[in-house]
Structure 1
Amino acid sequence: MAAHLTALVVLPSGLWRIALVLGHPAGYTEAGFEPFTTVEAKVWMLTLSVVCELAALLTIGLVRPWGEVVPRWIPLLGGRRVRPLAAVVPAAVGAAVLTLIWANVPWWWTYPHEDMTATGNLVVGILYQPLFLWGPLTAAVTFSYYRRHRPVRPG
């Protein structure tokens, strides 16, 4: 369940960024929204949204068969068993990095956001709050994967 929840906690912020890409100010003042109207900004926000969601979806691999055996359709590696540390190490590093990146999100409202409307500041803060859970959920799923796949010690 935690693996699936991981994909869901990333979704609200991604949908908000997609609204910006589609031209909706999504809580910004007119002047604050201006930097988001360039092609470069739109490509960045769309790419960020897709990459974040795909990264979150990778967590599901820690609870599904494709986290144990590489899917056959993947060239050169398909059908091979996944070495547990090949999944655990990147997932643990990712969990630690995500925890650090999103650690300050609960204090969103204590930071100034002059480029946003009061309602926008409230809504965006709410949409970003779930990201605080991304790292810890990934860590929990990673630890569970490790426990299920660790070598059995004799004795």
Structure 2
Amino acid sequence: MTDFAVASPAPRLPRLRAAWAGAHAPVAGVPRWARTAALIVPFTVLPSSLWRISAVTLHLPIMRDVGPDASGDLPSWMPLELYVVLLSVVSELLAFTAVGLVSTWGEVFPRWVPFLRGRRVPTLVAVVPGALGATVLTALWTWAAVALVIGRNLAGRPLAADAPLSPDTWQGALAIVAYAPLVAWGPLLAAVTLAYYRRRTRATL
């Protein structure tokens, strides 16, 4: 009787790990503090993302009932639950771009980018969006924190007693704890962007 050996597919997991590690390896000259700051940025967004998905999409009892108008100006074909998931995923992806400022894919376009693969990333292509994003995020979340302290919402109107971020109940306090790390997103991104700019411009001198 003849035994037939079944050829097993090449293990992809080690190759994926190697590709991930190679792409996210710190570039020479990246200060340790910049690497740490870049890795922290996605975690400043994670608590609020988890809170939104838990409260709105999974309907866990961690948020006050905001009534039937919670969908706001969303189109009728976009369920609020799906919108919250998409918003959270996009927020995490945007936050993760900070890691590119200390990794190889922030200096050389990855292979999966059409027409640009293998080419150097122009310094300003990364610095300008990073600086603008840091400015907007710092202004937005600093104002959000100040507004909450003085009892206002983002529009400057008095904060309603039943607002989700009202600190009068444990649900509101939990929401505030989840959103508080976002205050650090802008300053951390600004610091990492500045370190990236200095490193790239110093390398071209």
* Length-normalised TM-score, structure 1: 0.88
Deviation digits for residues 58-117 of structure 1 (CA, Å, limit 9, x no counterpart): 000000000000001211111110011111011100111111111133343534341447
What residue identity is the alignment partner of 2:198? R
Aligned length: 152
Cross-structure match for 2:40: 5
- Gaps spanning 5+ residues in structure 2: where? 1-35, 153-158
Cross-structure match for 1:79: 118
- Gaps spanning 5+ residues in structure 1: where? none
4+ residue segments displaced more than 4 Å: 33-39, 151-154
- How far 1:33 moved relative to its partner? 5.4
Identity %, equivalent residues = 41
CA distance in 1, matches of 2:185, 2:85: 19
1:17-36 alignment runs, 5 A limit: 17-19=52-54, 20-29=56-65, 32=66, 34-36=68-70
CA distance in 1, matches of 2:163, 2:179: 17
Cross-structure match for 1:15: 50
- How far 1:43 moved relative to its partner? 2.2
Asked if 2 retains the 8 angstrom alpha-carbon contact of 1:70 and 1:79, the reply is yes
What residue identity is the alignment partner of 1:101? L
1:87-98 alignment runs, 5 A limit: 87-98=126-137
Q: Which of the residues 114, 137, 143 maps onto 2:188?
A: 137
- How far 1:12 moved relative to its partner? 0.2
Cα gap change, 1:120/1:95 in structure 2, threshold over 3 Å: closer, same or farther? same
What residue identity is the alignment partner of 2:174? V
Higher relative contact order (CA 8 A, sep 6+): 1
